[in-house]
Amino acid sequence: MDLGKGLGHLTYSTLVHPADDWPQLWDSLQRYLPPVKQRISPNAPFGVCIRLSHLTAAELSSSQAERDKLKAFLQAHDLYVYTANAFVYGVFKNTQIKEQVYEPDWRTNERREYTRQVADILADICPAFATPSIQTAPLGFKPRVTGPDVVEAFTENVLQVCAHLVHLEQTTGKLLTLGLEPEPRCYLETTDETITYFQQHLYTAQSARRLQQLAKIPMDTAIAALRRHLDTSLPAYARPVFLRVRAELETTATFKHRKDELVRAGYDPAATDNAIYWDDVPRQAYARVDKALFERINSGQTRI
């Protein structure tokens, strides 16, 4: 249920019950959700965090009849899905899985396609007012990240899913976000590691250009989409306030980045030929800085 005052939604997670395939999940939903809803939120809609394994995702994404059955159940009990747990791909309950919980990791086609299926399901079953998120693994188990090529594979698959989320918003009007959840012993374990990954691999001009190609959208839209669909896992204080898009960075004779001119130009669009974008938090998008926006920021009319 919506707690109001910007506090978010209180939801009940089906992850606490065995639900490794669709029949198990369907039984769990019918058995546990109505009494919990009646106890916690008898007179208002109640949110659900739904755990979707790859078996469940495959069945629901391929069957409109089963999705309709799920939607009818949610509507009949005044329930709505607000987020999906797509962290664990396979079996989770009544077994020991340890580091296998992160497999297949984000370098694989299996993880990418599974996450796309989860997104398709959410776009169909979630109400118009919801902006559902997909909770997913923090890329991979750290000891198995053996080099930069693995990180590049992670990023490519994340961007492909982001392109799919762009397409879903265009075709269904549903805004979905992908949330990478840091965990111990994973590639994204600490806050600093998560910030570094977002800043060096996702919130970059290179990733924006790749998303532009994948989603077939303008560069401005691609930059905004990175912020819009890959937002939930990066702390607000760690998101870049301004982004500058350059074909390349100039270097010194010792191959250090030449930053003096960038510092002098700041975010003034008149001082550079580069495109500059500002993180417009209320709109959840990066806005192109033009003369009018630059003057509003400088005067304090628009706060950063």
Q: Could you tell me if 78 and 207 lie in one domain? A: yes
Q: Both 295 and 210 in a single domain?
A: no
- Is 1 within a domain? no
Confidence (pLDDT) at 70:
97
Quick one: pLDDT at residue 233? 46
User: Are residues 20 and 79 located together in one domain of the fold?
Assistant: yes
Cβ atoms 61, 114 nearer than 8 A = no
Which of 205, 239, 273 delimits the end of a domain? 239
Which of 220, 239, 258 is at the close of a domain?
239
pLDDT at residue number 131: 86
Q: Which of 162, 87, 81, 154 is nearest to 122 (CA)?
A: 81
Placement of tokens 């590639």 in the chain: 187
Q: Is the pLDDT of residue 211 over 90?
A: yes
Pairwise pLDDT comparison (248 vs 238), residue with the higher score? 248
Residue 246 has pLDDT above 90, yes or no: no
> Do residues 38 and 63 share a domain?
yes
Q: Is 109 a residue whose pLDDT tops 90?
A: yes
Task: Please classify residue 259 by burial: count the beta carbons closer than 10 Å to its beta carbon, then call 0-12 exposed, 13-18 middle and 19+ buried.
Answer: exposed
Q: What is the structure's pLDDT at 100?
A: 76
Q: What is the DSSP string of 261-291?
A: HHHHHTT-GGG-SSEEEEEETTTTEEEE--H
Q: Which residue has the higher pLDDT, 20 or 281?
A: 20
Same domain for 185 and 263, yes or no, is no
pLDDT band at 255 (very low <50, low <70, confident <90, very high): low
| Domains contained in the chain, number | 2
Q: Mean pLDDT over residues 28-45, rounded? A: 93
Q: Is 225 a residue whose pLDDT tops 80?
A: yes
Q: Are residues 123 and 251 in the same domain?
A: no
d(CA 232, CA 234): 6
Domain assignment present for 72:
yes
Q: So what's the pLDDT on residue 247?
A: 67
Residue 252 has pLDDT above 80, yes or no: no
Q: Do 133 and 225 sit in the same domain of this protein? A: yes
In a shared domain, residues 161 and 174:
yes
Handedness of CA 76, 133, 58, 11 (dihedral sign): negative
* Percent share of the chain, pLDDT over 70: 87
Top pLDDT among 267 and 33 is at 33
Residue with tokens 């249920």: 1
Out of 85-99, 121-135, 136-150, least confident range: 85-99
* 190 domain-assigned: yes
Mean local confidence (pLDDT), 209-218: 95
Query: Average pLDDT for residues 250-264, to the nearest whole number?
Result: 66
Q: Is the pLDDT of residue 21 over 60?
A: yes
Q: What percent of the chain has pLDDT over 90?
A: 52
CA angle 243, 247, 252 (to 5 degrees): 95
> What integer best gives the mean pLDDT of the chain?
86
End position of a domain, from candidates 194, 216, 239 = 239
* Contacts of residue 124, Cβ cutoff 8 Å, sequence gap at least 6: 67, 71, 172
Q: What are the CA-CA distances from residue 51 to residues 15, 182, 303 (Å)? A: 5, 18, 39
**55 and 87 within one domain:** yes
- My answer on whether omega of the bond before 42 falls inside 30° of 0, hence cis, is no
| Tens digit of each residue's pLDDT (9 = 90 or more) over 232-243 | 445 454 567 787
Same domain assignment for residues 204 and 275: no
> Do 257 and 128 fall within a single domain?
no
Q: Are both 135 and 247 inside the same structural domain? A: no
What domain range includes position 229?
A: 11-239
